[in-house]
Amino acid sequence: MSTTPAPRRALGRRDSLAARSTAAPRYSLCPRPHSQRPPPFPTAPPRSRAAEGTSRTPRPAGPTFGENLHRLQQLLDEVRAEDLHLAPRGPSAAAAAAGGGLPWSGVVPPVSYMHICETESFSMGVFLLRSGACIPLHDHPGMNGMLKVLYGTLRIACLDTLPPAAAAPPPPAAAAGPCHRALYRSRQHYTPASPPCLLSPHTDNLHQIDAVDGPAAFLDILAPPYDPQHGRDCHYYRLLEGPLPQAGAEPPGLPREVWLMETPQASDFWCGGEPYPGPRVCL
């Protein structure tokens, strides 16, 4: 995703959340210098191979996918910030310089992204969030994913979309766009000591991510990567019952059914790009 603001669905586009500030070949197998290749994903070669082995399975069925997924979880759980040459901080001035045109030019973004690796099968990268920053509620159509906190604390709310139901109550009158029934499954805090947070095409596929009590960073793996041309664009949503609860206010009765309304990208959310300082990855 570029650093130029997009009117909507920018999280999944190569010109937004991934914050690719310069043109680059679509499937570069090794990270290029930042001047040539702006931001998406990281890890050491053995972990990269494990990720690719998992993503080559077209759908999560059969022992091969399960075995590879478990192995990848084990490898990802071992990754620490120092392995990627990262120290706790939020987005830097470099992300502001690459943050796109007006109105964000020169403004340090709430979130920045370090590209490490991407193939047709998977992508890896690091997201950096300043204290209090939020990656709004969004989806990952047909995708599997893993998120490992490197430093700081993240509050992650996870939801599933539900099929239409004739007996379902109508959406709230406040709805002003396409609405979807969803299951609000969980809302938990994750730290570097936590196991990876997982998502699949049908479970925990929508999430909102907030940095709590300081800056935070996480390593992100998606298989396959976002690709609007193949139906894997990103969509943003708003919980019609109100914003997701703030710290200290737990939502009632999880899991529970809710209504979501598709929205444009929030005006106060954008993502800058930063160079990845960690070990080089080759596939």
Residues 182-238 pLDDT 10s = 999 999 999 999 999 999 999 999 999 999 999 999 999 999 999 999 999 999 999
Q: Are 88 and 81 in contact (CB under 8 A)?
A: yes
In tens, the pLDDT along 145-181 reads 999 999 999 999 999 999 887 667 777 766 677 788 9
Instruction: Write the DSSP symbol of residue 82.
Output: G
Alpha helix ranges (H) inside 6-62: 45-55
Contact 276, 114 (CB under 8 A): yes
Answer for the pair 16, 112: CB distance below 8 angstroms, yes or no: no
Type and span of the H or E element at 211: strand 206-223
Going by C-alpha positions, the residue among 69, 249, 232, 90 that lies closest to residue 157 is 249
Indicate if the alpha-carbon torsion angle 56, 201, 216, 228 is positive or negative.
Answer: positive
- Extract the tokens encoding 99: 């943050």
- The whole-number pLDDT of residue 48 equals 46
* Measured distance CA(245)–CA(249) in Å, rounded: 6
What pTM value is reported for the model? Answer: 0.74
Instruction: Please give the Cα distance from 145 to 181 (Å, whole number).
Output: 22
Which residue did the predictor score with more confidence, 44 or 58? 58
Q: What is d(CA 27, CA 167) in angstroms, rounded to the nearest whole number?
A: 45
